[in-house]
């Protein structure tokens, strides 16, 4: 099932920043999640979105460390993803369209896996399982373009034991949203856009990459105030 905000369909520049986007999602989800639901943000961009949601909804926040696989010459365009449990998903059609040499696919995947390992140490070191059996997991990112990163996160979190999976993103391409809707219990996407071209950044007035230091600071602040 897909939930969106009708008046935001096919609109651009609808959020001031990631915090504002998280507040919009929090309003969409208010009263719709069971007690014990866990927010799992995909770093880096998903963390400030989920942090705003966690504070507004009073839910715990953790990270589902998943990193997209990109060509060495363009770190913005992904053709696969690596997850915290070691799994790798690669879209063969996509890497061929991008002109990636088959010999480089393994190298790109290893680079993504190394990034995941670094983030697991810096963002989750010493923490327990990401979910307990039967949990409702709410996976959060700052947007869905191809959706392959979120698809990989869904599979990893399901195999970790989640009983119910909800995807919550501020913006997403209609194709990616509809594909994910077939994989999870619910998708909440405030700003769904159609058309042949899609960029997550187009939904935001203020957009910049988030670094790991900022993400660590956000997580530390929330964890230090957790009950």
Q: Per-residue pLDDT averaged across 154-183, rounded? A: 97
Residue 6 counted as domain residue: yes
Is position 185 within any domain? yes
Domain count, the chain: 1
CATH number, domain of 30, equals 3.40.50.2020
CA dist., res. 225 & res. 209, Å (int):
26
**pLDDT, tens digit (0-9, with 9 covering 90-100), for 16-56:** 999 999 999 999 999 999 988 999 999 999 999 999 999 99
Q: Write down the pLDDT at residue 227.
A: 60
Q: Which structural domain, as residue segments, surrounds residue 136?
A: 2-66+131-224
Residue 179: C-alpha distances to residues 23, 101, 163 (Å): 25, 27, 20
**Is 77 part of a structural domain of the chain?**
no
* pLDDT for the residue 226: 66
In the three-class reduction of DSSP (H, G, I as helix; E, B as strand; rest coil), residue 189 is classed as strand
Longest alpha-carbon distance in the chain: 50
DSSP designation for 103: H
The mean pLDDT of 68-91, rounded to a whole number, is 88
Q: What is the pTM of this model?
A: 0.95
Is residue 102 included in any domain, yes or no? no
Does the residue 171 lie in any domain?
yes
pLDDT band at 65 (very low <50, low <70, confident <90, very high): very high
Q: Which helix (H) or strand (E) holds 110?
A: helix 102-124
The C-alpha angle with vertex 60 and arms to 58 and 63, in degrees rounded to 5, equals 140
């Amino acid at each position: 099932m897909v939930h969106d905000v009708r008046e935001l369909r096919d609109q651009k520049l609808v959020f001031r920043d990631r915090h504002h986007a998280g507040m919009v999602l929090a309003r969409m989800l208010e009263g719709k999640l069971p007690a014990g639901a866990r927010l799992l943000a995909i770093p880096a961009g998903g963390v400030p979105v989920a942090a705003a949601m966690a504070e507004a909804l009073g839910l715990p926040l953790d990270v589902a460390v998943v990193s997209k696989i990109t060509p060495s010459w363009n770190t913005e365009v992904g053709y696969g993803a690596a997850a915290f449990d070691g799994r790798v998903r690669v879209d063969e059609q996509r890497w061929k369209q991008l002109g990636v040499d088959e010999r480089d696919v393994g190298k790109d995947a290893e680079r993504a896996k190394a990034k995941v390992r670094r983030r697991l140490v810096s963002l989750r070191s010493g923490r327990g399982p990401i979910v307990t059996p039967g949990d409702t997991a709410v996976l959060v990112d700052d947007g869905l373009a191809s959706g392959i990163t979120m698809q990989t996160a869904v599979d990893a979190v399901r195999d970790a034991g989640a009983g119910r999976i909800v995807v919550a993103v501020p913006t997403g391409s209609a194709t990616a949203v509809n594909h994910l809707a077939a994989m999870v219990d619910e998708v909440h996407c405030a700003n769904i856009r159609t058309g042949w071209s899609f960029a997550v950044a187009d939904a935001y007035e203020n957009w910049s990459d988030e670094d790991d230091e900022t993400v660590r600071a956000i997580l530390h602040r929330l964890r230090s105030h957790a009950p």
